[in-house]
Structure 1
Amino acid sequence: MPTLDDILEHIGGFDLFQKRAFFVLCLLSAAFTPIYVGIVFLGFTPEHRCLSPGAADLSTKCGWSLEEELNYTVPQGEPDGETFSGQCRRYDVDWNTTGLSCTSPLESFTNYSTKSSILLTTCQDGWVYDSLGSSIVSEFNLVCEDAWKLDLFQSCVNVGFFVGSICIGYMADRFGRKLCLLITILVNSVSGVLMAFAPSYTWMVIFRLLQGLVSKGGWLTGYILITEFVGLSYRRTVGIVYQVAFTVGLLVLAAVAYAIPHWRWLQLTVTVPNFFFLLYYWCLPESPRWLIAQKKSDEAMKVIHRIAKGNQKRHQVFPYCQIMAY
């Protein structure tokens, strides 16, 4: 009995049908990029310093430039060894005190003659970020003592990749490549949109974890599906190009992130197109190799007919239909 590879040699191992299927699946591969490396843009840490109540008003009153304001009100290179102490510490003084000098404001405080003798405190009133856009770091203040939360955010994604790849790989073998692919696309799209509207850091991590659980498994399912559509001699090529599409996605993501510097809008922009991948329900058939492995020869022949028709070689599949039916 002829194998599927024998049939593909006659109806086209990588003809028009497979090329179209390959193209639409490469779009899926490129769309996986924002989840894998999105932390670079979503979690960008801008230059920041402690918010000192009254310092901005004093700066306006004295007519300081930004450089002068930072020099007078932000600690730099303190003796405690904190090279960038201004990012996580501020002077423990009241800038609203009347009578402060505009040339040496710190000397106006009783018993304080030098910067090194002034006590420091934590950023109790928040931070000031020098950025035109926003990121999850600036919105949820993931700096200083809470900087570890940014690492946790990405770690949850990686854990999702690991667990999801195993579970979804099993699901793809048990229930079919196409069904598994569609489910992962749906969950990935919905959780990505919900993340864009997450009201807190905790909810954001939960939705990102869901994306991690399904996105890598969905990407692998797409990889398996396209390699099972093509002839044996084309598998290596489509596998490599499928991964190259991921690299193309990196370039597109960088351009989109440059144009949209606000993380919520960026997340929404890179997520919404994923809903169009649900059209795979009509664009792609089930893997004929999986159907044959599941003893579903009739359904496999329908897919082979569809491939032959798409390759305009429908008449060449008839002899094999009779043999497989037998």
Structure 2
Amino acid sequence: MAVNEALEKDSLFSPFQSIIVSTLSAPITLVATHSLMQIFTAAVPPYNCQSNLTLEDPYLPKDSCNRYISLLSNDTEACKQGEIKYDLSLYTSTIVSEWDLVCEREWMKELAQSTYMAGVLVGAIIYGTLADRFGRRIVLLTCLLQIASMGTGAAFSPNFSAYCIFRFLTGMGICGLVINDLSLTMEWIPKKYRPTVSIIQGACLSIGQIILAGVAYAITDWRWLQLTLSLPYFIFPILIWWVPESYRWLVLRKRTQQALFNLNRAARINGKKEGTFVTLEMLTHETEKNSTKASSKPTPFDLFRTPGMRKVTIGLSMSWFSSSFSFFALAMDIQRFGFSLHLLQVIFGSTELPLRILGTIIAAYVGRRYAVSLFLVLSGVFILCSLAIPSDLKLLHLSVTVLAKGFLGSSIVCAYLYTGELFPTVLRQTGMGFTNMMMRLGAVVAPLAMMTKVYAPFLPLVIFGVVPILCGLPILWLPETLNSQLLDTVEEVEAR
């Protein structure tokens, strides 16, 4: 686009760009609180079957699905639903204690998280395509309201089925928020500042994990925790309402007057005289140039129609799948270390923050594809190395796991930047949606891989270590986008 040259003169600290980044980064801060909320809302308190024995009785087995018939014999009987007694000294209430998701109903706890991830997966399919058709801004506002209303609904769920439905719809909104928020930010920011913006928004994702630990420590009832982390999303649409639609998308949809209005608005905020920044003739020229290239409505099939798009889509899908596959497996299984969940969540979030900054710096100065590939391979190596650590060295095992999860988080942040730059504007949200769908598919499949420990205790870690390595290496064959302009059409991708 010819207008790119005019926009490149802006700084990240220009008033308009500063407001855009600040406003669009705010809702990203609470994304991790919803994605990882079930660590606390579905925590399993110590429990026993109700009987004439007390919870502290040394003869009563802890976390057992059976109870003694009497103290005179070792005979036991299976505990029935409604007869389980929980120690609520640490957690006032969780979905586990409220709906008895233990013993033969234990699988329902994992179902709740898988349902949320399935919603995220569906959201990637729906909201990516809708954003390329109707615009980033309107879809973003819709997703924010969906998160607020469905998250609040989950807090008042009368039963487990209703809870799963509300969490599914919340997951849809979360994915739509992420892919459209990051892309809308990128399309308004000069190319030289994209890595810096990636650092800022990656830091917001990590800070969200720390916020979750703090709020969960203060609020021990799952319904109040769910409500507290959902209500802010009623405020975010008021802030986002100020953000203008992407001028790139408007030009490709032949809405030249609206694109000019938005660009002149940005110019006025930055203190530039209207008419000297971008003219109607410049935008009309861009519209005519792209009129035949962007006339059809985008569909996910367009991601595979041409060789260049096919190569980009498959390579990025492998990266997204593997990073999410291993990341959520490590993130949701922190209770196995035996330490405080709140402390572990702070440690994981605090460690990810500097690693994500490091990853973005490497992406900015070495290259996007090298950063994504490097962190995927490193994470796989660290996970495999954890297999050699004796089980009694829990602190060392925790340290290696924290680094592995941190490298996976760095890979995800770099992949967001890389994905937005590889896909053209006409298919950017469709591509972001599809790759995010593959990301969430990895999160959905991860619990299935955990089940392989039935055959061998070490097998899940082998799988979670090998997959990122195998999927990280093909990234090196994708085009590099360092210091490159964003492309607008499929033809430009094929000519790259």
| TM-score using structure 1 length | 0.81
**Could you tell me which amino acid in structure 2 is paired with residue 25 of structure 1?**
L
Distance (whole Å) between structure 2 residues aligned to residue 322 and residue 275 of structure 1: 37
1:26 is matched by which residue type in structure 2? Answer: S
Deviations 1:31-84 (A, max 9, x none): 1112211111111111111111x445xxxxxxxxx64xx224x2x4xxxxxxx5
Match of 1:87 in 2: 64
Deviations 1:242-264 (A, max 9, x none): 12211111111110110000000
Q: Which runs of 5+ in 1 are unaligned?
A: 57-65, 77-83, 94-105, 108-114
- Measure how far apart 1:323 and its partner are: 3.3
Cross-structure match for 2:386: none
Deviation at 1:236, TM superposition (A): 2.5
Q: Which moved more, 1:118-127 or 1:242-251?
A: 118-127
Q: Which amino acid aligns with 2:65?
A: C
CA distance in 1, matches of 2:44, 2:164: 17
CA distance in 2 between partners of 1:152 and 1:260 (Å): 24
**Cα distance change, pair 155–318 in 1 and its aligned pair in 2 (3 A):** same
4+ runs deviating over 4 angstroms? 11-14
Aligned to 2:130: 171
How far the C-alpha of 1:176 sits from its partner, in A, is 0.2
Q: Which region of structure 1 is more displaced relative to structure 2, 30-39 or 265-274?
A: 30-39
Alpha-carbon distance, 1:124 to partner:
5.0
Match of 1:289 in 2: 248
Extract unaligned runs of 5+ from structure 2: 285-496
Higher relative contact order (CA 8 A, sep 6+): 1
Q: Which amino acid aligns with 1:279?
A: I
Structure 1, 230-239 or 178-187: larger mean CA deviation: 230-239
Residue aligning to 1:252:
211
Identity %: 34
Give 2:42's aligned amino acid: G
Specify which of 267, 270, 281 is matched with residue 323 of structure 1: 281
SS in 1 for 2:58: helix
Residue 6 of structure 1, CA deviation: 1.1
Deviations 1:215-274 (Å, cap 9, x if unpaired)?
112111100010011111112221232122111111111101100000000011000000
**1:269 paired to 2:256:** no
Change (3 A) 1:125 1:298: closer
- In structure 2, the CA distance between the partners of 1:226 and 1:14, relative to structure 1 (3 Å rule), is farther
Q: Distance in 2 between matches of 1:171 and 1:272?
A: 25
Q: Secondary structure at the match of 2:214?
A: helix
Distance 2:13 2:281 in 1: 23
Give the structure with higher Rg (CA): 1
Kindly provide the amino acid, as one letter, of the partner of residue 90 in structure 1: R
Deviation, 1:311, is 1.4
Query: Distance in 2 between the 1:228 and 1:120 partners?
Result: 63
Aligned to 1:121: 78
Q: Does the 8 Å CA contact 2:264/2:277 hold for their aligned counterparts? A: no
* 1:39 aligned residue: 38
Provide the C-alpha distance between the structure 2 equivalents of 1:50 and 1:199, rounded to a whole number of angstroms. Answer: 24
Q: Distance in 2 between matches of 1:322 and 1:213?
A: 38
Give the Cα separation in 2 of the matches to 1:55 and 1:266. 33
Q: Secondary structure at the match of 1:320?
A: coil
Change (3 A) 1:314 1:37: farther
Tell me what 2:19 maps to: 20
1:32 alignment partner, SS class: helix
Change beyond 3 A, Cα 1:48–1:314: farther
- What is the aligned residue count? 282
Preserved CA contact (<8 Å) 1:134 1:262: yes
CA distance, structure 1, for counterparts of residue 124 and residue 133 of structure 2: 14
TM-score normalised by L of structure 2: 0.54
Residues 321 and 151 from structure 1, CA distance in 2 versus in 1: closer, same or farther, beyond 3 angstroms? same
Contact 1:191 1:210 in 2 (8 A): yes
